[in-house]
Structure 1
Amino acid sequence: MAELSTAGDSGDTGGSGDTGDTVIATRALTKRYRGGQLAVDGLDLAVPAGSVFGFLGPNGSGKTTTIRMLMGLIEPTSGTARVLGRPMPRATRTVLPHVGALIEGPALYGFLSGRDNLLRYDSADPVADPRTRRTRVATALDRVGLTAAAGKKAKAYSLGMKQRLGLAAALLQPRKLLVLDEPTNGLDPQGMREIRSLVRELASDGTTVFLSSHLLDEIEQVCTHAAVMAQGRLITQGPVAELAAGARSRLVVTTPDPGEAARVLKEQGVSDVVVTEDRVTADPPDHDLAEVNAALVTAGVRVRGFGVERASLEDAFVALTGEGFDVAG
């Protein structure tokens, strides 16, 4: 990590420069690679302070390229990016000491143990107090569940353990912003739950978490806000609850008589009726649901389930893009 400095930051007055309400802001941020490939196209992004912000999109949608520009690892072709109130990549030396990041998997020394990898990371930080280094490392290992494997060489770690170690490196110091690129990659379901719990804990402590993922379920469970990317472009952004609310809720009838159920629903004035093997879905009716259910029963339809399902983030994505999405990863 480079030495903490304000050199080259026009108009900066020291400190992190956090504006207090938006920790990441981009304007028309664009990255075009040689050969004409447009990876990110005119991105306008706003990440509120204190949020757990999900950066959502299929693999290849431009998420990692965006993160690399935000962290000063690559230069944008055009547009601007500000992190903690400072322009990137110009303010890299000032901003990065306040940011923890795990991007495209951790870079580890395979011949060193997990503990020794973290000791090396910590010793590279010019603001880290060497007197408390081992305590910081032990705390970070404990937070990600690697205490028992701390003495094991990193080359023997599984993919999930490497992800945990990379996250531990990002947590060696208190951070104003934590940037995680696919943090649950390679983790089993229990490990995924533990990382989600840790993200919530960090957010409750005041850290803004920017979490990139292609897993809709992961974003919906842990994030307060989200942005949806597709083919390098921003489709939408905002509070997760509002994004999901933008998609239609659906009336769902579970029955072994789907054809007869569909007929009754249409007679009841219900629109957009879709029949599958043992389910019928439709737009919720304007009149009382109890009347619709009674009509189904009166017609002899064996109703095993009846109700309105709240629209999910997956529904919102499909409604916005017309495309399917890799929910399970």
Structure 2
Amino acid sequence: MGNSSAAIETRGLSKRYRGGQLAVNGLDLTVPRGSVFGFLGPNGSGKTTTIRMLMGLIEPTSGSARLLGSPMPAAARTVLPRVGALIEGPALYGFLSGRDNLLRYDAADPTADPRTRAARVTTALDRVGLTSAAGKKARAYSLGMKQRLGLAAALLQRRELLVLDEPTNGLDPQGMREIRSLIRELAKDGTTVFLSSHLLDEIEQVCSHAAVMNQGRLVVQGEVAELAANARGRLAVTTPDPQAAARLLKERGIADVTVVGEDRVTAELPPDDVELADLNAELVRAGVRVRGFVAERASLEDAFVALTGEGFDVAG
């Protein structure tokens, strides 16, 4: 083991808690340098436990992990200064202002030059959109503002790797958009970003690569575009004659035909050698009144359902 082009690499990584619960089971993960890597799974699938092992916060029961080419937790002292992290919400001093929290975080970093501390803190506050609230006490911050302040702490120094556990938790839609665009910016600057999420559309919008966890096991990993492409898209037919449409689609050997409500039929997209326009014409010839005929691209959600055989608990 020791793939230098990987920012994170695990082999057989497992964690069994007292009482026998296996939270992470034989995880083989490879996160390419320079990627925005989405670590995806319903709450309780082992994501946070994995991240805590990667950062050396808890010891694995078995297996190994490398961060930026060095073994964890053995090399934690040399590796962690090159890594920014936001895990399970930031630890903040409620009685200090946002700015003073960051000054204290920066002062705790032995590699940080005290002469440029104030400038670093100002830049970090600006990047996460907290400049106007910098003087407010952290206890008066909303959940979303605390999340931003935690992200600012992770960005005080230029990092090779940024590890974010549910970074948009508690943010409103506007805040989510801002954090996503910040993640894209960081990736453009060459930082590898590893982010866990239970929000499929978040992963689809910002990540180049992803891994899917389910019940402590890795289900699949790869490029986001490929993962979605491996799931078949859906065909949606809107018609006042749904039963007749469903019957004809089934006769043509099309899979997973479902009547939805009184005027809609969905099915798996047929193989590429079936011309959709011909299928539409065939429905019309059979007397089916077609109001809408749409081929929908497969999403990451379709891929997840195809891989795990179950829906994705986005409510978490």
Q: Is the aligned partner of 1:325 residue 2:312? A: yes
* Counterpart position of 1:287: 274
* Counterpart position of 2:60: 76
2:248–2:283 contact (8 Å) kept in structure 1: yes
Give the secondary structure class of the aligned counterpart of 1:237.
strand
Q: How many angstroms does 1:272 deviate by? A: 3.1
* Counterpart position of 1:305: 292
2:3–2:9 contact (8 Å) kept in structure 1: no
Q: Is the aligned partner of 1:218 residue 2:221? A: no
**Structure 1 unaligned regions, length at least 5:** 1-17
The one-letter code of the counterpart of 2:275 is D
* Counterpart position of 1:154: 138
Q: Is the aligned partner of 1:142 residue 2:126? A: yes
**Deviation string, structure 1 residues 74-96 (Cα, Å, up to 9, x no partner):** 11111100000000001000001
Q: How many angstroms does 1:20 deviate by? A: 4.5
Q: How many angstroms does 1:293 deviate by? A: 1.2
**Deviation string, structure 1 residues 61-114 (Cα, Å, up to 9, x no partner):** 110010000001111111100000000001000001100000000000000000
Q: Is the aligned partner of 1:31 residue 2:9? A: no
Q: 1:56 aligns with which of 37, 40, 48?
A: 40
Question: Counterparts of 1:37-52 in structure 2 under 5 Å?
Answer: 37-52=21-36
**How far apart are the structure 2 equivalents of 1:270 and 1:46?**
37
Q: How many angstroms does 1:275 deviate by? A: 1.2
1:99–1:177 contact (8 Å) kept in structure 2: yes
Give the secondary structure class of the aligned counterpart of 1:281.
strand
**Deviation string, structure 1 residues 197-237 (Cα, Å, up to 9, x no partner):** 01001001000000001111111111110111111111111
1:253–1:303 contact (8 Å) kept in structure 2: yes
2:9–2:66 contact (8 Å) kept in structure 1: yes
Task: Give TM-score scaled by structure 2 length.
Answer: 0.95
Q: How many angstroms does 1:268 deviate by? A: 4.4
1:273–1:280 contact (8 Å) kept in structure 2: yes
* Alpha-carbon distance change, 323 to 161 in structure 1, aligned in 2, over 3 angstroms: same
**How far apart are the structure 2 equivalents of 1:151 and 1:297?**
67
Relative to structure 2, which stretch is displaced further, 253-262 or 226-235?
A: 253-262
1:19–1:84 contact (8 Å) kept in structure 2: no
2:245–2:288 contact (8 Å) kept in structure 1: yes
1:217–1:327 contact (8 Å) kept in structure 2: no
Q: 1:253 aligns with which of 232, 237, 241?
A: 237
The one-letter code of the counterpart of 1:73 is L
Give the secondary structure class of the aligned counterpart of 2:307.
helix
**How far apart are the structure 1 equivalents of 2:88 and 2:253?**
51
* Counterpart position of 1:178: 162
The one-letter code of the counterpart of 1:325 is F
Q: 1:125 aligns with which of 109, 112, 123?
A: 109
* Counterpart position of 1:5: none
Give the secondary structure class of the aligned counterpart of 2:174.
helix
**How far apart are the structure 1 equivalents of 2:3 and 2:118?**
33
Give the secondary structure class of the aligned counterpart of 2:222.
strand
Give the secondary structure class of the aligned counterpart of 2:237.
strand
**Structure 2 unaligned regions, length at least 5:** none
The one-letter code of the counterpart of 2:209 is H
Q: Is the aligned partner of 1:96 residue 2:83? A: no
Give the secondary structure class of the aligned counterpart of 1:44.
strand
Q: 1:266 aligns with which of 243, 250, 260?
A: 250
**How far apart are the structure 1 equivalents of 2:254 and 2:48?**
43
* Alpha-carbon distance change, 98 to 274 in structure 1, aligned in 2, over 3 angstroms: same
Relative to structure 2, which stretch is displaced further, 166-175 or 298-307?
A: 298-307
The one-letter code of the counterpart of 1:204 is K
Aligned length: 312
Relative to structure 2, which stretch is displaced further, 55-64 or 270-279?
A: 270-279
The alignment yields a C-alpha RMSD, in angstroms, of 1.5
Q: 2:301 aligns with which of 314, 318, 322?
A: 314
Give the secondary structure class of the aligned counterpart of 2:144.
helix
Give the secondary structure class of the aligned counterpart of 1:60.
coil
2:235–2:293 contact (8 Å) kept in structure 1: yes
Q: How many angstroms does 1:241 deviate by? A: 1.1
**Deviation string, structure 1 residues 270-299 (Cα, Å, up to 9, x no partner):** 343211113212233443211211222334
